[in-house]
Structure 1
Amino acid sequence: MVEIGYKLFTESHSAPELVKNARLAEDAGFSFLSISDHYLPWIPNHGRAGFAWCTIGAVSQATSRARVSTGVTCPLIRYHPAIIAQAAATAANLMPGRFELGLGTGENLNEHVTGGIFPTSEPLRLGMLREAVKIIRTLWKGGTQDYYGAYYTVDNAQIFELPEVLPPIRISAQGPMAAEVAGEIGDALIHFEQKPEEVVETFRASGGEGKSCMIETVVCYAGSEEEAKRTAYEWFPMAANKGELNWVVPTPAHFEQLQQMVTPEDVAKNVLCGPDPQKIIEKVGKLVDMGYDSVLLHQVGPEQERFINLAHDVILPEFGIKPPRPESGGRMVIGPAR
């Protein structure tokens, strides 16, 4: 049975809002939560970009069932891999068996802030990611560790608070080159819906057979299709950017300039907009048919609670998640598949 997750978008919502929405999403029946890890918002209008790892700690205590993952963290420049190894180990201790570390090669938007150079070469970024994952797994073995590689150095490092069960590492891939690496070094895949069929097939052929495959799909549920298009354009214009622009553009001001070059209709080609939940249900079904066992729904805009209620009432029951029992005191209770 497919698992359906809810996106915690740090760029558009404050940390307290994210914690509240995480609790509501768990109550509604979402199986997992995925939180973005940004230093800057995509566009100034977003106005948020809290520290994801602090929010993860709060979410761990506000929820009790849903799994939580970073979606995704870049351990290349802004963070040293040794720091991410420690952070993920602590998060896994806060929610045993519920934390998952999502890793990717990141965007210049976030990585340039500490003065490092973000490589425009994808093979180079993937080489750095390979080494970063190797360091994380080495430190998770316990004991004092040293590492002297092409990109990183670890000197007499030890993580003293390791979880009993290490978190899986889910690798992000937007194209076939990254999908090959993800299949080789990752425990699972996450894709952001650019080349869904090609990526999942490449991942499986490269060592990912039998591993979990997650995909994030962006939707904008609203009272009308026109309202949804306007909201998607206001809150998620990056969806219309072509090629590698989202990876190499450095500041929110530049993304705002790109926004002026696209229209709400352009954005709606990549964001499912409108008031009909059946279209979301059909979209999830298509992604499952492609081979994805986990689908992450990213509702853009301010109407988060409204969307969570819609998911509970209409979308999730279509995939075997039972609505809450009245005697549950307002907490959602998950029942068997229909």
Structure 2
Amino acid sequence: MAMQLGYTMMTEQAGPKDLVGHVVGAEGAGFDFAVSSDHYFPWLDEMGHSPNAWVTLGAAAQATSRIPLMTYVTCPSFRYHPAVVAQQAATLQILSDGRFTLGLGAGENLNEHVVGAGWPPADVRQEMLVEAIQIIRSLFDGDGYTNFRGEHFDVESAKLWDLPEKRVPIGVASGGKQASTIAGEHADALIATEPKPGLVEQFDAAGGTGKPRIAQMPISFGTDKAAAVSRAHALFRWFGLGWKVNSELPGPTAFDAASQFVREEDVEGSIPCGDDVEAVIAGAKAYADAGFTHLALVQIGGDQQQPYLEWARRDLMPAWREAFGS
């Protein structure tokens, strides 16, 4: 099964200028697409960064010419009103000459608590996401002015004055049946972080058949495997907690406490570490077998991007094309 290879701009582990330089390098190395996290906080203090994703993506759109760009993901419900998200996405689509996809999700307390709007239960957050998508889609339609009266959002006579020639596709993040159903009913693509076949099956059942399914997988490349394992543990030990836990934790201190008993060997067992191409391919095959069409790798460590990109171009890319035919 063909599966495209993606690059992740991790805003939690590098500053904005470095992130733009990294995605330029990813385009040069031959990656098929790039995604960017959209955070206000890093998960752990050790990660050390969290610049504004939209400003950074605007710069990336101007610095690159080929590689598709995507938010992975933006929450259109707390820090941003959906009408503002629609305007940002339409503008970025123009700047990128049609290379942008708007990835949306129900959010994480880690990032959204900063505006002081509280953190409602997951089912309410999903209701808010659906309303937000409806507003964004209406604004993308460009048919006059949008007025909306919802349970969670109101819009008064909104209109996007600069709409791109190519409509912005919308992806929706899922970790379970409810979100996959929302994605199938309201989105142009499914977004996930785990190779669960059920997510794709539920997406298809709700109307997603034939649409892209985009996932993400962390790796820790390095010629010194022990150092790569230690780096993955230091920066990504929270990853195994699962998104139902991660979405509720309020800040880096909470993530540190929740992951304090995660050992290096636990991380090594779940994240490919070192420079073994076959280990990465084996991990990626689980996503291909689950029905995903795109997989964005996360290289752990902001200061490791250049050697990672060189290795990806020289060693990983040929093996990937042979394994997945993309």
TM-score, normalised relative to structure 1 = 0.91
Partner of 2:270: 270
Deviations 1:140-189 (CA, angstroms, capped at 9, x unpaired): 12222111111001111111111111110011001122111111111001
CA–CA separation in structure 2 for the residues paired with 1:308 and 1:175: 33
Moved more, 170-179 or 9-18: 170-179
How many residue pairs get aligned? The number is 321
Q: CA deviation at 1:320?
A: 3.4
Q: CA deviation at 1:61?
A: 0.8
SS in 2 for 1:156: strand
User: In structure 2, what is the equivalent of residue 260 of structure 1?
Assistant: 260
Distance in 2 (CA, whole Å) between partners of 1:276 and 1:243 is 28
Select between 67-76 and 176-185 the one with higher mean Cα deviation: 176-185
The alignment status of 1:32 with 2:33, answered yes or no, reads yes
Q: Paired residue for 1:208?
A: 208
- What residue identity is the alignment partner of 1:71? Y
Q: Distance in 2 between matches of 1:159 and 1:14?
A: 30
Counterpart residue identity of residue 157, structure 1? A
Which stretch has the larger CA shift, 221-230 or 166-175? 221-230
Aligned to 2:222: 222
* Cα offsets for 1:290-324 (capped at 9, x unmatched): 21111111111131111111111111122439xxx
Q: Which residue of structure 1 aligns with residue 11 of structure 2?
A: 10
Residue pair 1:99, 1:167 contacting (<8 A) in 2 also:
yes
Within 5 Å, give how 1:296-335 maps onto structure 2: 296-301=296-301, 302-320=303-321
Q: Distance in 2 between matches of 1:86 and 1:184?
A: 23
Q: Deviations over 1:225-273 (max 9, x none)?
A: 3222211011112113256221111011221222323212222333222
Gaps of at least 5 residues in structure 1 are 322-336
Q: Does structure 2 retain, via aligned residues, the 8 Å contact 1:239–1:270? A: no
Cα deviation 1:5-49 (Å, max 9, x = unaligned): 000000110000100000000000001110000011111111110
In 2, the alpha carbon distance for the partners of 1:180 and 1:251 equals 29
Aligned position for 1:90: 91
Cα distance in 1 for partners of 2:269, 2:197 equals 18
Whole-angstrom distance in 2 between the partners of 1:182 and 1:296: 19
* Structure 1 residue 284: Cα displacement: 2.1
Residue 243 and residue 38 in structure 1: after superposition, are their counterparts in 2 closer, same or farther (change >3 A)? closer
Identity in percent: 38
Counterpart-to-counterpart distance in 1, 2:95 and 2:51? 20
SS of structure 1 residue aligned to 2:11: coil
Secondary structure of 1:139's counterpart equals helix
Which range moves more in the overlay, 262-271 or 232-241? 262-271
Q: Is the 8 A contact 1:4 1:30 kept in 2?
A: yes
Letter in 1 for 2:136: I
Q: What's the counterpart of residue 23 of structure 1?
A: 24
* Secondary structure at 1:236 match in 2: helix
